Every structure is written in C-alpha cells, then in structure tokens.
C-alpha cells in the first residue's frame, strides 16, 4: 500500500519536523520508494533468529553511581539560544 499524505503528516508530527501541505505528496513518493526497497527484507527467513542489538560480545560495564562531573551551569548554558538566571528559556508551556 503506497504511503498516503495523512501517514506522512503523522510521521512528520512524531519527528517534530514541520512539513508544508504542498510538500506532502512529493515526500510520500520519496519515502514510499525507499520503504518499497526495504521491503525486500521480507524475503529473508528470520524464524528463530535473535535480533542483534550489539555487535560487541561484551558485558555492559557499570560505573559507580556517583557524580563524576558537574557544577558548570555557565558552560552548559553557554551555547543556549536563550537563557536567563541559570535556566534555558523556551516559549510558555503552561498558561
């Protein structure tokens, strides 16, 4: 089933990327082309195959639950588009 415009709009919303109405059809075509190509994976018999989550066969290392670094609010805020009094500033979330 080819991708419809409503699906593309939904994916764009989930991805937090604004897409103009005029772009939807073109984008649906592009994504559909890539997804159709990906669908050849359906030919592969994967029954009984464990999904691979890591290529490195090693036990995840744990570190001490202790602060290793911190106390640098100026450094953290230095690249912020907008900051005040030690906080990041964003548009109003609550009325």
Partner 1 sequence: MGPTDLTIAEARDQLQARTLGAVELAEAHLQAMAEARVLNAFVTETPERARADAKAAEARLAKGEARALEGIPLGIKDLFCTKGILTTAGSHILDGFKPPYESTVTQQLWQAGAVMLGKLNMDEFAMGSSNMTSYYGPVRNPWSRAGDNRPLVPGGSSGGSAAAVAARIVMGATATDTGGSIRQPASFTGTVGVKPTYGRCSRWGIVAFASSLDQAGPIARTVKDAAILLGVMAGHDPKDSTSAHAPVPDFEAALARGVRGLRIGIPKEYRIDGMNEAIDAIWRSGIDWLEAAGATTLEVSLPHTKYALPTYYVIAPAEASSNLARYDGVRFGLRVPGKTLDEMYENTRAEGFGKEVRRRIMIGTYVLSAGYYDAYYLRAQRVRQLIARDFTEAYKNVDLILTPTAPTDAFAIGEKMDDPVAMYLNDVFTVPSSLAGLPGISVPCGLSAGGLPLGLQVLGRAFDEETLFAAARVLEDAAGFGARP
Q: From residue 19 to residue 48, what is the string marking binding to partner 1 with x (rule CB under 8 A)?
A: x-------x--xx-xxx-xx-xxxxx-x--
CA 3, CA 25: separation in Å to the nearest integer? 9
Interface pick for partner 1 out of 22, 53, 86, 95 (rule CB under 8 A): 53
Q: Residue 60 interacts with partner 1 (CB under 8 A)? A: yes
CA nearest 22: which of 36, 7, 9, 35? 9
Q: Show Cβ contacts of residue 36 under 8 Å, excluding neighbours closer than 6 positions.
A: none
The one-character DSSP state at 17 is -
Which positions touch partner 1 (CB under 8 A)? Answer: 7-8, 11-12, 14-19, 27, 30-31, 33-35, 37-38, 40-44, 46, 49-56, 58, 60-61, 63, 72, 75-76, 78-82, 88, 90-91, 93
């Amino acid at each position: 089933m080819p991708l419809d415009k409503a699906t593309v709009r939904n994916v764009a919303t989930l991805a937090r990327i604004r897409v103009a109405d005029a772009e939807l059809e073109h984008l649906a075509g592009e994504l559909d082309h890539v997804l159709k190509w990906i669908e050849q994976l359906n030919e592969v018999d994967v029954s009984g195959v464990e999904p691979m989550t890591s290529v490195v066969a090693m036990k995840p290392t744990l570190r001490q639950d202790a602060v290793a670094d911190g106390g640098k609010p100026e450094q953290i805020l230095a690249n912020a588009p907008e900051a005040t009094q030690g906080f990041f500033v964003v548009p109003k979330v609550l009325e």
